[in-house]
Amino acid sequence: MIDNPYYSHEFHGDYELVSIGRLDLEEGGSIPDCRLAYTTFGTLNEARDNAVLVTTWFSGTHQIWRDQYIGDGHALDPAKYFVVVVDQIGSGLSTSPHNASGDNAAISMSKFPHVRIGDDVVAQERLLREHLGIETLHAVVGGSMGAQQTYEWAVRFPEKVKRAAPIAGTAQVTPHDVLFSRSLVEAITSDPGFAGGEYTSNAEVVAGLERHARIWAVMGFSTEFWKQEVWRALEFDSKEAFLEGFLQPYFTVMDPNDLICMAWKWQRGDVARHTGGDLDAALGRITARTFVMPISEDMFFPPRDCRAEQERIKNSEFRVVDDVLGHLGLFAVAPTYMPQIDAHLGELLDGPA
Amino acid sequence: MIDNPYYSHEFHGDYELVSIGRLDLEEGGSIPDCRLAYTTFGTLNEARDNAVLVTTWFSGTHQIWRDQYIGDGHALDPAKYFVVVVDQIGSGLSTSPHNASGDNAAISMSKFPHVRIGDDVVAQERLLREHLGIETLHAVVGGSMGAQQTYEWAVRFPEKVKRAAPIAGTAQVTPHDVLFSRSLVEAITSDPGFAGGEYTSNAEVVAGLERHARIWAVMGFSTEFWKQEVWRALEFDSKEAFLEGFLQPYFTVMDPNDLICMAWKWQRGDVARHTGGDLDAALGRITARTFVMPISEDMFFPPRDCRAEQERIKNSEFRVVDDVLGHLGLFAVAPTYMPQIDAHLGELLDGPA
């Protein structure tokens, strides 16, 4: 276990931390005491049918959903919906390699077991049912790895999911995504300070974390983002300043093992595991009204890949979000981004299932 | 100096190696004895006006042009044209960090000076004029960094260049390209075996070179290349086998300092240096009949970026080469690739200037 101050209420505001008990994992092994961090907004109605689950992406937590996506005036309106954001396993807030202690001491750091997207969804379903009394979801919404979890929910628990909005992600990871995330992981693990995952502080791996951030710069934003110098809107005066003042610090505070735990999941997200590898059959299980929402300039979850999946989902629509930022448009930086998200999500959430 | 057997006639076939003497460099410093490797195909006619210069790309040499692009039945037909392929400085065949010895001993390895695309073009012009008696070029043709040299030729020596075919490259490097190539360089320099450029064999840097190759896998090929498993056409049975049997070995035989020398040039290719930063003015100097030929699925020299330059060149056309491979379509692997190249190049070379 490592004490990393980034993963705290100071940096992430209010959240609950609840144990769902022992979680046996798809790949074998288990998390003896699986704790999930989550936040809620709004009130569960008497019929218990207005809950919207939000899942989180690689390196992201409930924080960005709270700050950018949820609130009065947004589709995710707490006046209408009981919004539950659950931080994924490995996020650093829920049980993760760096914080495994007590009953989880045996799986600390490099000994943390491999977790699957499916494990997250099983854990989330248990949290919702046993701790929040939620049996069905008005909707599941998530971006990137959160979209992977959204698809997993819709395929694994079709009777529980009425609506689904996978944003900038796919149901089945692509080989290109596997290669991209592998390069991200290698930027970290190749740092001698990583020490096979047994560093004593993330500061020892800062060089690797910075290289990791700079590979995100290449793939996370679009070629046009850099060409148009969109970072100027964030009040930086050079791309170097943007890297050093935003993208590198964003990642260097994080825990290397936690990032690697999430990347391992990302590389293996695949709903076709439920159907012997048959993606058509897996997507055919989805009964949720589904809006597939890629970002136009996404370099690694390109609209083309999302389209190929949307066409296999019965009750679905293809809604492209135009954003020159590319994948990291998810940060909701462009003033034109949230209005599109809210328009699509609002139509989905407020419409029939 | 390092003895690297890859950079030899055994692996690269016939080529000439000629000293053009001392080359003073744009960034300061000089190469005391600049040697250029080159090959020729066909015969210079009496009017000395049928010469076509071919420039080389990052990690590539005359070899791939000889094997894939030049010959009977191709646009680059030695029966019509005197084709001269010049290996760039840092290619490992021409003067490069790893082979600097004798009069160049003082600039060996990490002491090699910074070379610019403009230095290559000045060196090539001297080689052509002083050693081959060529004052004007029927055409200049090059891909990727070779396109950067092609543009440099057309802007710097407009009176000498009748036709230009920049393939999959730009006249002014984009910020995204700078970031991408920086990640490539960092994959190498972060390897402890690199030892600040003073390794004693490229084998000491194999881990870094392999990571470098795997970043090429992410950006060099397209998302569709991986999704469609196009590598099967190259007789591999998994993407891992393709990486381990093709892409990694392609790079691990090479010299790290040589790759970094080329990447440094790539990151700074910019014809607007000639016009105080005014790209319109620089491209306005081009008088050559110019076919701008991006590859449709290129992830880092996307057609959009090439189009923006083509529109600023008077006597130009925009000719997209469709290839699912993306940038590394340049390897001419797809059976549909060379027919397109030959059609466009043939029309350019055989038509009016």
What 3 state SS string does B220-276 have? CCCHHHHHCCHHHHHCCCCHHHHHHHHHHHHHHCCCHHHHHHHHHHHCCCEHHHHHC
Last residue of a domain, one of A243, A262, A281: A262
- Please indicate if any CB of chain A lies within 8 Å of the CB of B174: yes
In a domain, B109, yes or no: yes
B327 is catalytic: yes
Please answer whether residues B239 and B228 qualify as being in contact, where contact means their C-beta atoms are separated by less than 8 angstroms.
no
pLDDT at residue A150, rounded to an integer: 99
Give the residue from A216, A234, A262 where a domain finishes: A262
Does the CB of B299 have a partner CB in chain A at under 8 Å?
yes
A1 in any annotated domain: no
Is the CB of A174 less than 8 angstroms away from the CB of B214? no
Residue B125 and residue B107: Cα distance in Å, rounded?
23
B182 contact A CB<8A: yes
Same structural domain for residues B163 and B183?
Answer: no
Amino acid type, A132: L
Tokens of B168: 């999959």
Q: What is the mean pLDDT of chain A?
A: 98
Of A212, A215, A218, which to mutate for an interface test with B (greatest number of B Cβ within 10 Å)?
A218
Shared domain check, A201 and A277: no
Domain annotation covers residue A197:
yes
**Total tally of structural domains belonging to chain A:** 2
Q: Which domain holds residue B247?
A: 178-262
Distances (CA, A) of B62 to A118, A189, B86, B155: 51, 36, 7, 23
Which candidate in B183, B231, B246, B296 is best for mutational testing of the A interface (most A CBs within 10 A)? B183
pLDDT of residue A142: 98
Q: What is the CATH number of the domain that holds B207?
A: 1.10.1740
Question: In terms of domains, do B66 and B134 share one?
Answer: yes
Q: Do B39 and B82 have their domain in common?
A: yes
In a domain, B2, yes or no: no
Residue B1 resides in a domain: no
CB B81 within 8 Å of CB B350:
no
Cβ neighbors of A252 (< 8 A, separation 6 or more) are A202, A206, A209, A210, A213
Do A92 and A156 share a domain, yes or no? yes
Q: Is residue B330 part of a domain?
A: yes
Tell me: do A121 and A217 sit in the same domain: no
CB contact under 8 A, B179 and A300: no
Residues ≥6 apart with Cβ < 8 Å to A21:
A33, A34, A126
- The confidence score (pLDDT) of residue A244 equals 97
Question: How sure is the predictor about A343, in pLDDT bands with cuts at 50, 70 and 90?
Answer: very high
| pLDDT, tens only, B260-306 | 999 999 999 999 999 999 999 999 999 999 999 999 999 999 999 99
Say if residue A159 is in the same domain as residue A281. yes
Residue B3 maps to a domain: no
Confidence of residue A245 (pLDDT cuts 50, 70, 90): very high
Would the CB atoms of A215 and B215 count as touching at under 8 Å?
A: yes
Same domain, B312 and B343: yes
- A194 touching B, CB under 8 A? no
Last residue of a domain, one of B221, B247, B262: B262
What would the pLDDT profile of B71-120 be if each residue is shown by its tens digit? 999 999 999 999 999 999 999 999 999 999 999 999 999 999 999 999 99
What pLDDT does A250 receive? 97
Are A67 and A120 part of one and the same domain? yes
Residue B298 appears among annotated catalytic residues? yes
Same domain, B120 and B35: yes
Contact B304 A226 (CB under 8 A): no
How confident is residue B349, by pLDDT bands cut at 50, 70 and 90? very high
Is residue A34 very low, low, confident or very high in pLDDT (cuts 50, 70, 90)?
A: very high
- Could you tell me if A145 and A204 lie in one domain? no
With 0-12 / 13-18 / 19 or more C-beta atoms within 10 angstroms meaning exposed / middle / buried, residue B126 is: middle
Give me the CATH number covering residue B127.
3.40.50.1820
Does B200 contact A at CB distance below 8 Å? no
Report the chain A residue with the minimal C-alpha distance to residue B221. Answer: A176
In terms of Cα–Cα distance, which of B284, B256, B107 is closest to B191?
Answer: B256
Locate tokens 């690689």: which residue? A58
**Same-domain pairing of A204 and A56:** no
Number of Cβ within 10 Å of residue A201's Cβ equals 12
Å from B213 to nearest chain A CA?
Answer: 10
How far is the C-alpha of A193 from the C-alpha of A199, rounded, in Å? Answer: 6
Residue B63 exposure: Cα atoms within 13 Å on the Cβ side: 16
Exactly one of B144, B181, B222, B316 is catalytic; name it.
B144
- First CA to last CA distance, chain A: 44
**Distance in angstroms (rounded) separating the CA atoms of residues A318 and A330:** 17
Average pLDDT, chain B: 98
pLDDT the model gives residue B236 = 97
Nearest to A179 among B175, B190, B217 (CB): B217
Whether residue A4 lies inside any domain: the answer is: no
Task: Give the pLDDT of residue B82.
Answer: 98
A263: its two tokens: 């990347």
Cβ proximity of A61 and A54 under 8 Å: no
The reply to whether B226 touches chain A by the CB within 8 Å rule is: yes
